Amino acid sequence: MKKSCFKEEKESDFVQAFEEELKELGDMAPFVTRDKVIMKTLYSGKGRYYITFEEAARNVRKVIDHEPIRCKNECKIAMYEEMARKVIDYIVRHPSTDYRAALYRVLAESRASRFFFGMQTARLILYQHYRRQRAAKRRQSQFLENKGV
């Protein structure tokens, strides 16, 4: 399985969106379950399409042409379908635009309706992020302790 070249960016955007959702809750944050905040973040529309142009060009074209794509991930299939709708809409609004130019515009300028991964992945992203953050704080405090500060 190949590793996404947008993994870090996607994870960073998700953590930032999650923290924004927590801030919006304000004083109510402690009373809302973490899973509810995660679900709200997943569907916040604050992400984008974390995919290369080449992969999108292949799979979105197949969706438009009603051909099967070699993908079993339902979230990715939903992403390709959403992108296909946006590409078709763009071409309808700009009839002189070809498929590749429309796809490029969608990738470059359009926000995704959601983060296209599930609850389990979202939990893992947050767990790893906050674990790294705690480890960095521990290292910093140990460094300061050793310096006698």
In the chain, where the domains are located: 1-48+114-141, 49-110
Over residues 100-129, the pLDDT tens digits come to 999 999 999 999 999 999 999 999 999 999
Residues in CB range of 23: below 8 A, 6 or more apart:
none
Q: How large is the average pLDDT for residues 7-26?
A: 96
Residue 4 has pLDDT above 70, yes or no: no
Residues in CB range of 48: below 8 A, 6 or more apart:
13, 110, 111, 112
Give yes or no for a contact between 17 and 41, defined as CB atoms under 8 angstroms apart: yes
Select the more confidently predicted residue: 133 or 143: 133
Q: How large is the average pLDDT for residues 16-33?
A: 95
Least confident range from 18-22, 107-111, 145-149: namely 145-149
Over residues 36-47, the pLDDT tens digits come to 999 999 999 999
Residue 138: band (very low, low, confident or very high) from pLDDT cuts 50, 70, 90: confident
> Among 63, 56, 46, 52, which residue's Cα sits nearest to residue 114?
46
Cα–Cα dist 117/41, whole Å:
11
Residue 72 CB-half CA count within 13 A: 1
How many residues are given for the chain? 149
Residue 2 has pLDDT above 70, yes or no: no
pLDDT at residue 65, rounded to an integer? 97
Over residues 51-82, the pLDDT tens digits come to 999 999 999 999 999 999 998 999 999 999 99
Residue 1 has pLDDT above 50, yes or no: no
**Mean pLDDT across the chain:** 92
- Output the CA angle 87-93-95, nearest 5 degrees: 85
Side chain identity, residue 97: T
